[in-house]
Amino acid sequence: MKPAKVILCFAASAVIAASAGNLSVPPEGVDFGEIAAGAAAEKSVSVRNIGNRDIRISRVKPCCGAEAALSKMTLKSNEAAELAVRLSPSIPGQFSKTVHIYCDDPQGPVVAVPIVGTAVESSSPNAASRYTLPAVVLAGFADGFNPCAFSIVIALAGILAVGGRRRRARMLGGWAFCLGSFLTYMAMGLGLMRAIRALDGFSVLRMVFMGALSLSLFVLSFLSFRDAFRYRRAKVPSVITLQLPERVKKLIRVVAETSWSGPTVVVAGVGCGILVTLLDSLCTGQIYVPVLALISREPGAWRSFALLAIYNLAFIAPLVAVFMLAAKGADAAQMSRWSKRNVFPSKIGLGVMFAALGVLLLVV
């Protein structure tokens, strides 16, 4: 939560709480104690009318991402209602929120109910987590072997091999490229996952986002299956829909040829890995973003970080293999032919992966 938003929320609560009224709430508010980060929790307190006239409540407004509801919206004298509060903190640490109750009591038209507690790392994975880890590993490998990106990696390995470089230089350049790619995807993943988790306080918006993302995955699954059968019939890359635009492919080759032209193969390899990964994300992001949405549901920041690292290690594994084969003398043209022979199974595998991720985002 942004500091300015927190300050405004607390300031408003302090002003409202200072005005005494006939709607009585416990002074400590709603104390959740310790709850697992990423898990939904619900608690209720009693709200009582201590005045001698009916109080009609017009609105219950939770602040900063909580959900709240009253069991009754009209309270007679000395009558009480249950205020149920529900929240799901995604990040470990202390939290402090407020629920505002708006009513027609002239002595206290707005009542602030504080909500406090501490979100802690979850030591036991929930049912969803049992599916998340294998899905993350398989998605990482599937994305690494994605034909629209894998062919680029083979071309880059060929570029690195030209110029009479020794085996050691080719290996160092390949490892440097993989490091740059890994660090770039980790940085992108952390930023995107933070943006996705910002939707936690807006349940409807998050539900719409997950639904739209799931629908897009089913569309990508259909397109991937269609690409597989189109390519098997035509045997030409031009019939494939899910691939990088030709001008982006050319730009990637230009970046690689320019970066690896000098003697500083390690520094150039890291820089090339960063630039190519950013350009290649147009293709690999089709799986990466849904995986980030899946990881964002996991309880605990460290578990989410570990899953993100596992995905990216699985993603760069095919890159490492290609560069190591090229360093040992494997011909880029031979690897390219192998890649083309495996476009059909790769596209089928991607189609299955897209559909599986779409289902997981809906039901997990």
Tens digit of pLDDT per residue, the chain (364 long)? 444 444 444 444 443 343 457 888 888 888 888 887 767 788 889 999 998 999 999 999 987 668 889 998 999 999 999 999 988 776 677 888 889 999 999 888 999 899 888 887 655 444 445 678 888 998 888 888 777 767 777 777 777 666 556 777 777 777 888 888 899 999 999 998 888 877 766 667 778 888 888 899 899 899 989 988 988 888 887 788 877 777 777 777 777 777 665 557 777 778 778 887 887 777 777 888 888 888 887 766 788 888 999 999 998 888 888 877 777 766 666 777 777 777 888 888 888 888 888 888 877 5
Spatial distance between the Cα atoms of 117 and 98, rounded to a whole number of angstroms: 12
Say how many domains are in the chain: 2
pLDDT of residue 94: 81
Closest alpha carbon to 60 in 50, 75, 41, 39: 75
Q: What is the CATH number of the domain that holds 14?
A: 2.60.40.10
Tell me: do 92 and 240 sit in the same domain: no
Q: Is the domain of 92 the same as that of 182?
A: no
The residue out of 64, 89, 120 marking a domain boundary is: 120
pLDDT value for 151? 72
Give the residue numbers spanning the domain of 211: 127-363
Same domain, 172 and 217: yes
Long-range CB contacts for residues 254-259, cutoff 8 Å, separation at least 24: 255/279, 256/155, 256/156, 256/159, 256/160, 257/159
Whether residues 218 and 356 fall in one domain: yes
In this structure, the answer to whether residues 48 and 146 fall within a common structural domain is no
244 and 148 in a single domain? The answer is yes
Instruction: At 182, list the tokens.
Output: 């890994």
Of the residues 104, 120, 136, the one at which a domain ends: 120
**299-302 LR contacts (CB < 8 Å, sep 24+):** 299/36, 299/37, 299/38, 299/39, 299/121, 299/122, 299/125, 299/126, 299/129, 300/36, 300/37, 300/38, 300/92, 300/121, 300/122, 301/37, 301/91, 301/92, 301/121, 302/121
Do 189 and 329 lie in one domain? The reply is yes
Residue 47 to residue 75: CA distance in whole angstroms: 9
The separation between the first and the last C-alpha atoms of the chain, rounded to the nearest angstrom, is: 26
Quick check: pTM over 0.75? no
93 and 186 share one domain: no
pLDDT number for residue 18: 37
In terms of domains, do 162 and 211 share one? Answer: yes
Q: How far apart are CA 347 and CA 292, in angstroms?
A: 21
Cα separation, 114 vs 14, in Å, equals: 10
**222 with 89, same domain?**
no
60 three-class SS: strand
pLDDT value at residue 164: 55
| Same domain? 38 vs 157 | no
Output the CA–CA distances (angstroms, integers) from residue 300 to 193, 270, 307, in the order listed: 13, 31, 11
**Rounded Cα gap, residues 161 and 166, in angstroms:** 8
Q: Which two tokens stand for residue 180?
A: 């740059």
Q: Are 151 and 204 in the same domain?
A: yes
Q: What is the pLDDT of residue 204?
A: 75
Q: Indicate the residue among 120, 152, 169 that finishes a domain.
A: 120
